[in-house]
Structure 1
Amino acid sequence: MNLLRSSLKIFSGSITGSALQFLGIAYFARVLGPSSMGVFFLFQALLGMVAIPADFGLRGAVEKRISEGESQGRYLSSAILLKIPPVMIIVAGIFVFRPWINNYLGAEVAALLAIALILQEASQLTIVVLKGELRVGETAVLEVVRQATWLGVGGMLVSQGLGARALIYGLLAGLFLVFSWGCFKISVIPQYPSRGHASSLFNYGKYNAISSVGGYFYSWMDVAIIGLFLTQAHVGAYEVAWRITTVVILLSRSIATAVFPQFSEWSGEGAKNRIKDVIPQVLTPSLILVIPSFFGTVLFSKEILGLVFGVEYEIAWLALIILMFDQVTEAAQVVFGRSLQALDRPDLAARATAFGVILNLILNIILVSSFGITGAAIATMVASLFSGLILHFLYLSKIISIKIPYAELLWCVLAALCMTFLLVPIRWLVTVNSIIELLVVIALGTVLYMATILLSPSLRSSIFKHYNNVVGEN
């Protein structure tokens, strides 16, 4: 598997899917307002929460075991049998607690939550099977299908006056299409399950579940707590800010997604030196887009929120800056975390994540009640820095020696600072009053940053080398 080409395929699919999502959120945010958007975001948050016990880390375990190349069909059928009981129990619980759930979400959508859980678990299982088959690049189109369906169906139903329900129906339609398409694409055929294969999945999954908790936690727990202490409008504004920051980390996540099955295969072959050599090569690409995005957000956070989504979302301008800084640490963490899991040490990744989950929960409860959505952003940033970056790095460095490309990363920071210094006078002299003007300023900043990046001989050589590798294999 070509890691670069797989990463670029995933990135292309992710950036296309995120562009569709971004356009959808921008449109729906203006049409529905922050309160209705808050209902939808709370629905997604609760879906993420109930998905944790429903999956219990099995998705990661399936990807890991199938990528090892042995007994793939038996692992798949064993995983299906393991997933059915917890999903059914949680679905039953949703209907039992339906009045409370509807009251919390602000709409009568508990039954839709149960359907969404089933569709999500089924669709995600097909995706991890494809990844385990080392066909990571082929999963890129599924993200585009999901987002395009959400935007199309949601947009059509919003025009019919269904409000937040329209977005939920679009979400359900997208999950169903991903599941159908994924079933068509996978080549692993389920075989007779066994207790040994189920035990192997469970033993890996119980640690991977904690890492999964961390992923959902940082994505949704702060939203859930904001929903308890503040209003749905605050939920909508904060989640819009969060969604903006997730766009800049797409390349980092694409790289981490691509390296996992390959690292897993090398780990199974005892070729840890190959993993050690590749990690420094992927760290700089993981951070090269995130670093300038933070500096740009410091200058134009209010304009990004107000012009694109509406002035009522500007209340999250400081939270947006803090969350964008959080993505700088997250970009490195996703590489370290996935590397630990690929090296068959999900226990260490789980230990780091557990610390972050506890710290994030405590800080969210304290800071949201005192500082609102800004407090939620601070809690996420601090927890991510200590558990996501520092602990994952320390644990990984105990297994393999990690060479950090300090010179390249420092040059990226200097390039971002140069971009900022050149944009500051523009920020003072020109009032950005339209989306077109905002896009022009962002494009100018991008050109300035990339021009400075190319002044570095090592970065310039690396960029052209990667470009030639991709073009040469097409």
Structure 2
Amino acid sequence: MNLARSSIRVFAARAASSLIAFLGITFFARELGSHQMGVFFLFQAMLGMIAIPADFGINSGVTKRLSEGESPGSVLSTAILLKCLLLLPFVAGIVVFRSLINDYLGADLALLLVVALVLQESAKLTIQVLEGELRVGETAGPVFARKLVYVGVGAVFVFRGADVRGIIFGLLAGLVVMLAWGARKSSTALGLPSIRYARSLFDYSKYAVVSSIGGYFYSWMDVAIIGLFLTQSDVGVYEIAWRVTTVVMLFSSSIATTIFPQVSQWDAGDATERIESLLSEAISPALFVAIPAFFGVVILSKEILGLVFGAEYTAGWLVLIILMGEKVIQSVHIILGRSLQGINRPDLAAKAGVISMVLNFALNVVLVFEYGLIGAAVATVLSFIVNSILHAYYLSMFVSIRIPYMRIGGCVAASFAMAIFLYIVESTVLISSLPILLLIIGLGMVVYAGFALIIPPSRGVFLDIFRRAVG
């Protein structure tokens, strides 16, 4: 597998699909308002949290076991059978408790939640199979198609006057396309299910599920608790700020997705030095986007939320700054976390996940109740810092983590220079329309790239990314 080429393909697909999703969320937020968007985000939060025990880490286990190359057909068949058995009680539970679920969501959406759960778990399995086949680059197509169909179908429904259900119909349509495309791309034929492979999958998944819980808690726990203590409108404001920050994770998450099966394969061959070299090479490119994004948001947070999504969303300007700072940490964490799982130590990733998950829940309950949306953002950041430190510590027990401080320092210096430029522009120019805002952001990117090329350490990062992209 060509790591550079796969990373670029995955990044390009995710960049395009995230741009489409971002434009879709912008349209939906403007058309429906913060209350309806809050209902949709609570729907997604419940879908994500229910999916954790319904999957029980089986999807991650499939990627791990398929990448090891032993009896892939039996592994896949066993995984499908296990997922069916796991899904049944949760589908039944949603149906039985649909009145309570509808009250929490603020709309009659429980039965759509059942459909979404089944489609999501089926579609995600096909992507995990492709990754386990070391064909990560080929996941780009179905991932892109899912977002394109989701936004396109949702936009049609909303444009024709539908409420939040229109977005959910788009979400379901996207999952159907992703499932069909991923299944068609996979080359693993079904074999006979086996108790042996069921135990093998559970041996890995029982730890991977804890990491998944940590990830979903990190993504959705603050939203779920905001939904309990505050209003659907508050959920909408907070999640819009969160969605803006996720754009900067595109490249680092693409790198992490690509290196997992490769680290797994090298670990099976005891190629520790190759893993250490790969980690060092991956960290600075992962930060190349996140660092300047944080500096830019510090200057332009109110303008971004107000002009892109609407005036009611400017209430989340400080939330946006806090969460964007956290994305700098997450850009490194995602590399370390996937590597720790790749060397077959999901137990340690699970331990870190449990500690940070408990901390996240406790801090959110206290801080959301006391400080509202700002408390939720601070709780998320503090718990994730602890999670990242623990992942780095556990991974360092097996491989040496060489942090490229000079290259990171170069990116910080270039970002600081860009921030000064943006501050001067923001102080002298009235940013009153979206085209002016986009122009200023574009100029900021050019200034950052210029300083990144001037400063030697960051120039190395820039040229490495360029060479890999064209290579």
TM-score range normalised by the length of the shorter chain? over 0.9
For 2:446, give the aligned amino acid.
V
Question: Which residues of 2 match residues 23-422 of structure 1 at below 5 A?
Answer: 23-387=23-387, 389-422=388-421
CA RMSD of aligned residues (A): 1.0
**1:424: which partner in 2?**
423
Is residue 406–residue 457 contact of structure 2 (8 Å, CA) maintained in 1?
no
Superposed CA offset, 1:126-170 (max 9, x none): 000000111101111212111111111111111232200000110
Aligned pair count? 471
Relative to structure 1, the CA distance from residue 228 to residue 47 in structure 2 (aligned partners, 3 Å threshold; closer, same or farther) is same
For 1:427, give the aligned amino acid.
E
| Cα separation, 2, equivalents of 1:68 and 1:321 | 42
TM-score, normalising length from structure 2? 0.98
Shift of 1:208: 0.3
Relative to structure 1, the CA distance from residue 73 to residue 417 in structure 2 (aligned partners, 3 Å threshold; closer, same or farther) is same
Structure 1 gap ranges (5+): none
Shift of 1:9: 0.7
Shift of 1:43: 0.4
Shift of 1:347: 0.5
| Cα separation, 2, equivalents of 1:373 and 1:425 | 30
State whether structure 2 residue 447 is matched by structure 1 residue 448. yes
For 1:136, give the aligned amino acid.
V
Superposed CA offset, 1:28-83 (max 9, x none): 11110010111111100000010000001111110011011111111101111111
Is residue 17–residue 144 contact of structure 2 (8 Å, CA) maintained in 1?
yes
Shift of 1:460: 2.6
TM-score, normalising length from structure 1? 0.98
Once structures 1 and 2 are overlaid, which stretch shifts more, 42-51 or 135-144?
Answer: 135-144
Local SS of the residue matching 2:454: coil
Local SS of the residue matching 2:59: helix
Shift of 1:461: 3.9
Local SS of the residue matching 2:260: helix
Superposed CA offset, 1:202-226 (max 9, x none): 0100000010011111111111100
Once structures 1 and 2 are overlaid, which stretch shifts more, 410-419 or 453-462?
Answer: 453-462
Shift of 1:411: 1.1
**1:11: which partner in 2?**
11
Is residue 452–residue 462 contact of structure 2 (8 Å, CA) maintained in 1?
no
Shift of 1:440: 1.1
State whether structure 2 residue 4 is matched by structure 1 residue 21. no
For 2:263, give the aligned amino acid.
F
Relative to structure 1, the CA distance from residue 98 to residue 117 in structure 2 (aligned partners, 3 Å threshold; closer, same or farther) is same
| Cα separation, 1, equivalents of 2:330 and 2:468 | 27
Local SS of the residue matching 1:289: helix
For 2:410, give the aligned amino acid.
W
Shift of 1:108: 0.7
For 1:440, give the aligned amino acid.
L
Local SS of the residue matching 2:192: coil
Structure 2 gap ranges (5+): none
Is residue 409–residue 457 contact of structure 2 (8 Å, CA) maintained in 1?
no
For 2:426, give the aligned amino acid.
R
| Cα separation, 2, equivalents of 1:471 and 1:336 | 26
| Cα separation, 2, equivalents of 1:250 and 1:339 | 18
| Cα separation, 2, equivalents of 1:358 and 1:333 | 18
Same amino acid, percent of matched pairs:
51
| Cα separation, 2, equivalents of 1:291 and 1:469 | 21
For 1:421, give the aligned amino acid.
I
Relative to structure 1, the CA distance from residue 207 to residue 301 in structure 2 (aligned partners, 3 Å threshold; closer, same or farther) is same
Local SS of the residue matching 1:190: coil
Relative to structure 1, the CA distance from residue 111 to residue 233 in structure 2 (aligned partners, 3 Å threshold; closer, same or farther) is same
| Cα separation, 2, equivalents of 1:465 and 1:414 | 18
Local SS of the residue matching 1:454: helix
| Cα separation, 1, equivalents of 2:265 and 2:344 | 11
Shift of 1:466: 4.4
Shift of 1:462: 4.6
| Cα separation, 2, equivalents of 1:104 and 1:322 | 27
Shift of 1:465: 4.3
Shift of 1:195: 0.8
4+ runs of 1 displaced by more than 4 Å?
none
